């Protein structure tokens, strides 16, 4: 398989603060996604970003595929940003559509 490590495991912020979440992976990938799991359990797709940089409102993500890591930036955090953030990858060269997940970063934003 492929190892996916996320850091930090827990992050506590006050509303308005910025944060950076990191995802390291052990092999080349052809698919990398960031998800936010809401309190009801649904995984919300934030970014599909196997390489490069994308932005969506207060969120942005960068994947440096050659160095096997991805970063998720959250600016001006809000209480609704709370939840668990997961990084998931599909190994490059794999013809099988299997996502490997990290253990997630639990983000808590206080008002």
Partner 1 sequence: KAGVTQTPRYLIKTRGQQVTLSCSPISGHRSVSWYQQTPGQGLQFLFEYFSETQRNKGNFPGRFSGRQFSNSRSEMNVSTLELGDSALYLCASSYLRGARTGYTFGSGTRLTVV
Q: Coil, strand, or helix at residue 30?
A: strand
Tokens representing 103 are 């253990």
Cα–Cα distance for residue pair 51/49, rounded to 1 Å: 5
Instruction: Tell me, rounded to whole angstroms, the distance of Cα 46 from its chain centroid.
Output: 8
Q: Which stretch in 53-61, 62-70, 73-81, 98-106 sits in contact with partner 1 by CB under 8 A?
A: 98-106
Asked if 90 interacts with partner 1 (CB under 8 A), we say: yes
Asked if 99 interacts with partner 1 (CB under 8 A), we say: yes
Cα–Cα distance for residue pair 50/63, rounded to 1 Å: 6
Q: Which of 15, 18, 55, 98 binds partner 1 (CB under 8 A)?
A: 98
Instruction: List contacts with partner 1 (CB under 8 A).
Output: 30-31, 33, 35, 40-45, 48, 86, 88, 90, 96-101, 103-104
């Amino acid at each position: 398989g492929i190892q996916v490590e996320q850091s930090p495991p827990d992050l506590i912020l006050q509303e308005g603060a910025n944060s950076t979440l990191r995802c390291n992976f052990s092999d080349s990938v052809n698919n990398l996604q960031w998800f936010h799991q809401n309190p009801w359990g649904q995984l919300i797709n934030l970014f599909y970003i196997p390489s490069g940089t994308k932005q969506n409102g207060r969120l942005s993500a960068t994947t440096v595929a050659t160095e096997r890591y991805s970063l998720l930036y959250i600016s001006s955090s809000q209480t609704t940003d709370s939840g668990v953030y997961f990084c998931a990858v599909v190994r490059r060269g794999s013809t099988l559509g299997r996502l490997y997940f990290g253990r997630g970063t639990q983000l808590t934003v206080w008002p």
